[in-house]
Structure 1
Amino acid sequence: MAKKVLIAGESWMSYTTHVKGFDSFYTTLYEEGVKYIRAAIEKAGYEVDFLPNHLAASDFPYTMEELKKYDCVILSDIGANTLLLPAETFTKSIKMPNRCQLIKDYVLEGGSLIMVGGYLTFSGVDAKGRWGVTPVQDVLPVKVLDIDDRMEHPEGIAPVLVKEHDVIKDVPKNWPEFLGYNKTVLLEGAEEVMTIGGDPFIAVGNYGKGKSAVFTSDCAPHWGPHEFIEWEGYDLLWKNMVDYLVK
């Protein structure tokens, strides 16, 4: 039976006002950025379930039994509030399980976690990601800042190899440049595999019986430009990372 991966996040909705002289009208748009990383992980032989942001709020697992159906959980461009504020709690004041605590316990009991960068992971835009003040921080190899952590590089910035590691085994050395990343600080006991701008880019750590990894830029546009998602090493990178964590 194929091992299972859960990806949460990587979707957004846009509401646009069009003004044309005296008149105006509105349009809405729903988009997903998951297709690139999902295809890479499925190509590696894993079964992938995807919870876009608007469904993760209600459908992300509430129990260890549900979460342990997955060998790896990937959080990508999803804020902690989405898991901390289910509708039952926010609108009806009903107590619900803390799913950030659940993720921590899942890793400690042998699960695998990957956090991928974006405007709402780590600290994120205006520090709205808020992952650093949740129990998830305790099972990440990097410290999440308590300020807006975006490092925007419209000119492009290249990651730098620190050490050889299974997560980048046989991945080509000709890494493309990225357009930004989330600034974090490596924690004691974690392994830094690559840096970007002098900050962690890929890092891994062991926590209890499980493991976690971070990739502090984006797995899709805009920080991950087309040169990255079309790069010959893209699929192998994500295969290696999931393989290493669930091994």
Structure 2
Amino acid sequence: MLYLGDTTLETAACYLAGLLHRAGYAFEYRPSNHRLSVDDLAAAHDLLILSDYPAANVDEEIAAELAKRVCSGSLSLLMIGGWESFEGCDGHWHGTPLAEVLPVRISDKDDRRNIDRPTFVQCQVSGHPVTVNLPWAERPPLIGGFSQVEAKSDARVLLTAEIHDARLTSSGYELSPAESHPLLVVQDLGGSRVAALMTDLAPHWVGPLVDWGPGRVVARANGGEQIEVGSDYARFVEQLIGWLVAR
């Protein structure tokens, strides 16, 4: 697989890279300032991961070739949220060939939602391989932000971001539902699979999700910083990647 973005392995990329390494996946990594070239496409990658990686780093011809591989069934695709993902402030993926094969519609305007209210991750399809055997109802995780997109009609919304208003009363804190937005949308194209995760897997948007679970998981990718994360967070990430490559 080819993992692009999240600044560097010494910073934000250490989270996903650490879990990929822990799960035994072989992957190539390129930092967010790397301009994708034809040489990067020489290997037969089974999955392309874009996370805080701006569209400006991918020439249209290369983007079209990657989209062609997705449509032909030889390459799966995952985009993860962040300021340089989807449209964002510097992502600008709207209208690109890769945006066309994602299971969501990307806005042509800044789609960042930096949330200062309790925002829960709610599971909509509990039996899916990505979401199975995780305590969504018993221990609902929270996030700090996401990219606001629209799910395509033929895709499946596995997770939603549930924003709540909160206030402190004499009897304690009260929460009331305010907004609901797609958070994880997937689609099986037959030969390949595509997914859009609108929150981040690294700070700051990941919020408390990074510590989700009763246990702790320590991991480190070659060349990266060591991470310590929650056991359910780690399981969720590994199940998401596992579904994308098990086509």
Q: The TM-score by the shorter chain falls in which range?
A: 0.7 to 0.9
How far apart are residue 201 of structure 1 and its match? 0.6
C-alpha distance in 2 between matches for 1:107 and 1:64: 16
Pair 137,67 (structure 1): closer, same or farther in 2 beyond 3 Å: farther
**Contact 1:149–1:183 (8 Å) recurs in 2:** yes
2:182 is aligned, of 196, 200, 220, to 200
More helix by share: 1
Pair 234,43 (structure 1): closer, same or farther in 2 beyond 3 Å: same
- TM-score normalised over the length of structure 1: 0.78
How far apart are residue 227 of structure 1 and its match? 4.9
How far apart are residue 224 of structure 1 and its match? 0.9
In structure 2, the partner of 1:123 is 87
**Contact 1:152–1:180 (8 Å) recurs in 2:** yes
In structure 2, the partner of 1:242 is 241
Runs (5+) with no aligned partner, structure 2 = 163-179, 212-228
2:38 is aligned, of 54, 57, 62, to 62
C-alpha distance in 1 between matches for 2:41 and 2:146: 34
How far apart are residue 152 of structure 1 and its match? 1.3
1:36 is aligned, of 8, 11, 15, to 15
C-alpha distance in 2 between matches for 1:139 and 1:132: 11
Aligned-pair identity (%): 26
C-alpha distance in 2 between matches for 1:123 and 1:67: 28
How far apart are residue 67 of structure 1 and its match? 4.8
In structure 2, the partner of 1:232 is 231
C-alpha distance in 2 between matches for 1:227 and 1:140: 24
For the aligned residue pairs, the C-alpha RMSD in angstroms reads 2.1
2:28 is aligned, of 30, 41, 49, to 49
Runs (5+) with no aligned partner, structure 1 = 13-29, 85-96
- Identify which of structures 1 and 2 has the higher relative contact order when contacts are C-alpha pairs closer than 8 Å and 6+ apart: 2
C-alpha distance in 2 between matches for 1:36 and 1:77: 13
C-alpha distance in 1 between matches for 2:198 and 2:62: 22
In structure 2, the partner of 1:218 is 200
**Contact 1:41–1:235 (8 Å) recurs in 2:** no
**Number of residue pairs the alignment of both structures matches:** 208
C-alpha distance in 1 between matches for 2:40 and 2:230: 36
1:158 is aligned, of 120, 139, 142, to 120
C-alpha distance in 1 between matches for 2:37 and 2:78: 16
How far apart are residue 106 of structure 1 and its match? 1.7
In structure 2, the partner of 1:183 is 148
How far apart are residue 160 of structure 1 and its match? 1.1
**Contact 2:104–2:150 (8 Å) recurs in 1:** yes
**Contact 2:49–2:79 (8 Å) recurs in 1:** yes
Pair 227,240 (structure 1): closer, same or farther in 2 beyond 3 Å: closer
Q: AA paired with 1:195?
A: T
C-alpha distance in 1 between matches for 2:159 and 2:77: 18
1:107 is aligned, of 70, 85, 94, to 70
Superposed structure 1 runs of 4+ greater than 6 Å apart: none
How far apart are residue 33 of structure 1 and its match? 0.3
C-alpha distance in 1 between matches for 2:238 and 2:190: 23
